[in-house]
Amino acid sequence: MDVGWATSARVEASRRACASSSDEGRRATTSRRRERGRGSPTRAGGGGANFERLVQQNRWLFPQPELDEEQEALDAFWLSRGVVEEHQRASLVAMGRELASGVAERELYRNADALGHALSRLETLFPRGTDVAKMLWHCPEVLQLPLSEVATRLIAFKRAFPNVNAERVVEGNPRALLLDDLESVADALRELQDEFPQVDMISVIDFEPHVIQKTLPTRVRALRNIKPGDRSASLRAFYPPASDAVDPQPPMKNAQLFAKVFLLTTDCCFPRGDV
């Protein structure tokens, strides 16, 4: 009886030891999994957030570009003018270094007060709501023009393109103000309208102001010289169907699509960097 009781006690002790060991093993495994979980990104994009947090916590390891007082003032100026995109502000601040070759330019482009005065004067020529800061980001040279010349060029633009919203075009493509031969560009636009009578070229310009450019006559000539058999499928869609077409479709009228097709088709006429 004593021997049987001792044997039972040993078996029970062994069972409890095994159970305790098993519980400890499960707890250790769970703990390791939790530790791995803390250090690894989640499937739903947690890696990016973890990286950003790591960078923020260790900003002292990554030297930040320092702005001098002049650059800080210019950055604050463009921000006050509604330029919220940092890369756009950086471009406008750099405008002072890139264009200020003389004393007068330095006083204009690198002085926030002078810039504010010049922009305020320029804004008087355009309807309320025109983004003059955006114009300068695209073409800072406009600010070098005397205000009277800007007004003269704007009037000439309206005369050359009487049916176009001149202010809207210039806002999106301020380089149009620098065109000297507006008549040849206007003639080219009329030729383009004759080539594609079903497409409203005014809507084309409204959607893509950069169609108005010095190279427009060259682009139109290049387009008209493309033989029918060499036209791309997207370009053929804007021409009347061939007489022997199996399933003839009327030419497309979409102005937005035409603007893209026209510019892409004629880009090949120019060396890289000249467009």
Q: Does residue 229 belong to any structural domain of this protein?
A: yes
The tens digit of pLDDT for each residue in 156-210 reads 999 999 999 999 999 999 999 999 999 999 999 999 999 999 999 999 999 999 9
pLDDT of residue 44: 44
Domain total of the chain? 2
Report the distance separating Cα 265 and Cα 45, nearest Å. Answer: 40
Residue 140 lies in a domain: yes
Task: Judge whether 18 lies within some domain.
Answer: no
Note down the domain range covering 224: 182-269
Give one DSSP letter per residue of the chain, joined into a string: -HHHHHHHHHHHHHHHHHHHHHHHHHHHHHHHHHHHHHHS--TTTHHHHHHHHHHHHTGGGSPPPPP-HHHHHHHHHHHHTT---HHHHHHHHHHHHHH--SHHHHHHHT-HHHHHHHHHHHHTTS-TT--HHHHHHH-GGGGGS-HHHHHHHHHHHHHHSTTS-HHHHHHH-GGGGG-S-HHHHHHHHHHHHHHSTTS-HHHHHHH-GGGSSTTHHHHHHHHHTS-GGG--HHHHTTSPPPTT-SS--PPP--HHHHHHHHHHHHGGGS-TT--
pLDDT value at position 47? 55
pLDDT at position 268: 81
- Cα distances from 45 to residues 29, 38, 54, 158, in angstroms, run 26, 14, 15, 52
Q: Write down which residue in 162, 197, 232 finishes a domain.
A: 162
> Which one of 100, 129, 162 terminates a domain?
162
Confidence class for position 273, pLDDT limits 50, 70, 90? very low
204 and 120 in one domain?
Answer: no
Q: Does residue 55 fall inside a structural domain?
A: no
Judge whether 189 lies within some domain.
yes
Q: Is residue 34 part of a domain?
A: no
Look at residue 267 and tell me whether its pLDDT is greater than 70: yes
- Per-residue pLDDT for 40 more than 50? no
pLDDT above 90 covers what percent of the chain? 38
Same domain, 206 and 249: yes
99 and 132 within one domain: yes
Q: Which of 54, 119, 60 is nearest to 92 (CA)?
A: 119
pLDDT at res. 103:
43
Query: Domain for residue 152, yes or no?
Result: yes
**Residue 31: inside a domain:** no
